[in-house]
Structure 1
Amino acid sequence: MSTIIRIIDGIPRIVADEWEVLRPESAVASAYAYQIVPLAQFSSALDQGVASDIRAVWISPENDFEPLIAHLLSLEIIAVDFPSFRDGRGYSIATLLRTRYGWAGQLRAIGDVLRDQLNFMRRCGFDAFAIRPDKDIQDAMKSFGHYSVRYQGAADDPLPLFRRR
């Protein structure tokens, strides 16, 4: 079983991960208790009327998730895929989910997730981070201590610094 970083009561913690991200190329059954399915699979299950067993979905930057938002809001986890460190579309998806659609469940960053991104992801509303497997999760935890003051408002704290005084 792998580990992820979760923000629990405002504090980043390393926790065991019971969820497996189902990728199109992975057809092998695993020891994970739960599965995070691709948005296309969720959409297909909705069309067939068998989506009630799905508890978590992942969205890729190319997916148009907004037509399914009413169904997504009933899930336990929404994960957003970062296919590349350089692909920032996941930040916009997270911000939309938190601010426009009021997503209050776990919002998880998956894919090419690295230490340098974590604070920015947190500001956009992510509260769970699956660090790339070849990177040290303990080292990634250190990034949460880099900034003590944030000037701008964001999804994690909408008030700018001058309004917090």
Structure 2
Amino acid sequence: MREIIKDKVIVNDDWQVLRLAEGETPEGVSVPNGKIIVPLVVWQTQREALQGRAEIGVWIASDERPEELKGEVEKFAVIAVDFPKFSDGRGYSIAYNLRTRLGYEGELRAIGDVLRDQMFYMQRVGFNAFATRPDRNIHDALKALTDFSEAYQISVDRKSPLFRRVDRQAVAPK
């Protein structure tokens, strides 16, 4: 069974990510039973058939908008954001918007080309689960979440900047 990092712990992943094969269409693909994370386009085209299932998740491609799920985010136990390549940073904005604008509180998972170097920053914008690339050491990747002890800027994980969190005493000039 594949492992993921969830809430800073390595756990077995009992969810399957459905990806469309070449030539498959969102309306024609068969969604298997069990815990399955479907592409947003599959959810949109098969919503009526899928919405009664308790164990359904959705994943958002980097060129899709999280607002497509407005009013529906609470239906999903897991929402994943796909990173097609390391240098594509649109998933950070998607995650931030899911947490702050759409109020999603469930598992927010990074999938695709997820590497250790990104994980600390992914955590800052709201990701709490990471499906790292299979060719990378997941135990090494886990360490990335504690690479830095402080962050200067505000984000999902810190609501005030460092300068407001540090008590500084004024020193009188001599």
Q: What letter corresponds to residue 21 of structure 1 in structure 2?
A: V
Bigger share in strand: 1
Partner residue, 1:6? 6
1:24 maps onto 2:25 in alignment: no
Instruction: Summarize the alignment of residues 101-112 of structure 1 with structure 2, pairs less than 5 Å apart.
Output: 101-112=102-113
Shift of 1:160: 1.1
* Counterpart contact for 1:118–1:143, Cα < 8 Å: yes
In structure 2, do the counterparts of structure 1 residues 28 and 140 end up closer, same or farther at CA, with 3 Å as the change threshold? farther
Partner residue, 1:125? 126
Larger mean Cα displacement after TM superposition, 134-143 or 20-29: 20-29
* Counterpart contact for 1:3–1:14, Cα < 8 Å: yes
Larger mean Cα displacement after TM superposition, 74-83 or 154-163: 154-163
Deviation per residue, 1:38-82 (Å, 9 max, x gap): 101111122x45422162000001223313321233211100000
Q: TM-score, normalised by structure 2?
A: 0.84
In structure 2, do the counterparts of structure 1 residues 98 and 149 end up closer, same or farther at CA, with 3 Å as the change threshold? same
* Counterpart contact for 2:4–2:10, Cα < 8 Å: yes
Identity of aligned residues (%): 47
Distance 2:120 2:137 in 1: 16
Partner residue, 1:96? 97
* Counterpart contact for 1:57–1:79, Cα < 8 Å: yes
Shift of 1:25: 2.1
Bigger share in helix: 1
* Counterpart contact for 1:4–1:129, Cα < 8 Å: yes
Q: What letter corresponds to residue 90 of structure 2 in structure 1?
A: R
**Bigger Rg, which one:** 2
Partner residue, 1:147? 148
Runs of 4+ aligned structure 1 residues displaced above 4 Å come to 26-30
Partner residue, 2:52? 52
Larger mean Cα displacement after TM superposition, 58-67 or 102-111: 58-67
* Counterpart contact for 1:39–1:65, Cα < 8 Å: no
* Counterpart contact for 1:56–1:78, Cα < 8 Å: yes
Distance 1:4 1:21 in 2: 13
What is the total number of aligned residue pairs between the two structures?
159
| Runs of at least 5 residues in structure 1 that lack an aligned partner in the other structure | none
